[in-house]
Structure 1
Amino acid sequence: MKPNQKVYQVIFNKIKDSIMQGELLPGEKLPSERELANRYNVSRTSIREALRVLEMSGVVEIRHGDGTFIKASNVNAVVESLSDVIMNTEDTLIYEMLETRLVLESECAYFAALRATSRDIEKIGRCIEEMRVADKDTERGVLADLQFHYSIAEAAHNSVLLGLVQTLGGHMKKTIQATRNHRFARDGLYEETFNEHRDLFLAISRRDAHGAKQLMIQHITKIRQEMSEVALENYHQQQE
């Protein structure tokens, strides 16, 4: 194993090699997570992460309740082209951070709607205004975005949740920078991003806990989906 290489990255490469060597063919079903975990002597979590990266690459399709299937007809080209990009530690960390944020921040939004004081709501509102004023000023926009999410965590009034968000602060800033770069590369997504944050602020202001949680889930899930689409679009452009 290479330095700083995670277990699931090793498993990704093993599965990739099996595909490229013709041991696994398009349309074929992969062994179960349990079987793969036993085969490679690793946890099912590591297997699940490797499969997730393969799915984002467009190499496999995970059919819940049915299994995981080789998807691409040009599997070799896809895997070879994308593996270096997706398995880069920094790029992979972005997806992992978005998953972590999905769990933590949806709960922060929920409790913020229940517990936010008038001062908390005012602070979140100032972040929204700063995001509006920042427009497409990259650094200013990133800081306003980051402070918005911090302010929601503070408004949840749960010291453990806040401590976790603060501990992840440096990584959060990197993911926000990366996702804003991805989103703002497309026309119209700046306004859409601002509206998503504004709607979340309004839900918290209305004390709509379930609505705020759902909006946070939708916001982060949408970002992850868009980043996956951008990666695939870049791949197809390279092939033209």
Structure 2
Amino acid sequence: MALTDEAIAKIRSMIQRGELPPGSRLPPEPQLAAQMGLSRSGVREAVKALQLARVLVVRRGDGTYVTSLAPHLLLEGVGLAVELLQDDTLLEVMEVRRMLEPVATGTAALRMSDEDLDVLSRILDDMRDAADDHEKLIRFDTAFHRTVIAATGNETLTSLMDGLSSRTVRARVWRGLIESNSAHHTIDEHHAIYLALRARDQLLAQATALIHVNTSESWLRAVLAERPAAAQRGQGRVSR
């Protein structure tokens, strides 16, 4: 194991054991290196790596601290990683969304406040007004789903879905560009979800959310399946 990896593992272990709880200050670098039996350079690189992972934060002139370790910090990298996935693996992201989002929407039906429902109602109005502007529609679409997921009160789930949505937003853009009537379909599906949430009907909310995700996933499968065929047709025309 490289010295940096060993230092990372030891610092993580100290956090897991409660020796370095959230918000606590790490010992000075020389002391920490001696405590772990490692070189200062290895500890320094480990701190940099854990800082990028939002586990540690360096405050100039003050020291290095353990962050709050809140889900929105630790799962921040999910969105960055998902953005690097190739188009064929985007289907896997959609499958994960299909597994999580309907159940989360059903849970939200039981936990959503009247204020949250009012927010969704306003977002739906914005979506209707933006039906001819796909970029705005996508932004409101994303806000709608985030409001629903956040209503579950599960910060880990909210952070995870935020990361997954960073990539699925592109699928919504493609859908809007390719399907001429996609905006109206999207609004209708969101309206059905809203009505189920307003009725506090857990099963109906779950079902309407599943229909919405399935629609997006089915469209994406069709588009990705069409690309190789289109490429082959293009090559055939060139060869002639």
Percent identity of paired positions between Structure 1 and Structure 2: 25
Other structure's SS at 2:132 match? coil
1:178 match: 171
Which of 215, 220, 224 is the equivalent residue of 1:227?
Answer: 220
1:148 corresponds to 2:144: yes
Q: 1:173 to 1:136 in 2, by over 3 A?
A: farther
How does the TM-score come out when normalised to structure 1? 0.56
Counterpart residue number, 1:120: 116
Other structure's SS at 1:106 match: helix
Identify unmatched segments of 5+ residues in structure 2: 1-83, 234-240
Question: Aligned residue for 2:207?
Answer: 214
Q: Give the deviation of 1:202 after TM superposition.
A: 0.9
2:14 match: none
Query: Which sections of structure 1, spanning at least 5 residues, go unmatched?
Result: 1-87
Aligned length: 150
User: Root-mean-square deviation (CA), in Å?
Assistant: 2.1
* 8 A Cα contact 1:184 1:190, kept in partner: no
TM-score (norm 2): 0.56
Cα 1:188–1:138 change in 2 (3 A) is closer
Aligned partners of 2:89, 2:223: CA distance in 1, in Å? Answer: 17
Q: Secondary structure at the match of 1:89?
A: coil
1:160 corresponds to which letter in structure 2? T
1:164 maps to which residue? 160
- 1:1-240 mapped onto 2 (5 Å cutoff): 89-166=85-162, 168=163, 171-240=164-233
Shift of 1:181: 1.5
Shift of 1:99: 1.6
Q: Report which of the two structures shows the higher radius of gyration computed on alpha carbons.
A: 2
Going from structure 1 to structure 2, the CA distance change for 1:237 and 1:128 (only over 3 Å counts) comes to: same
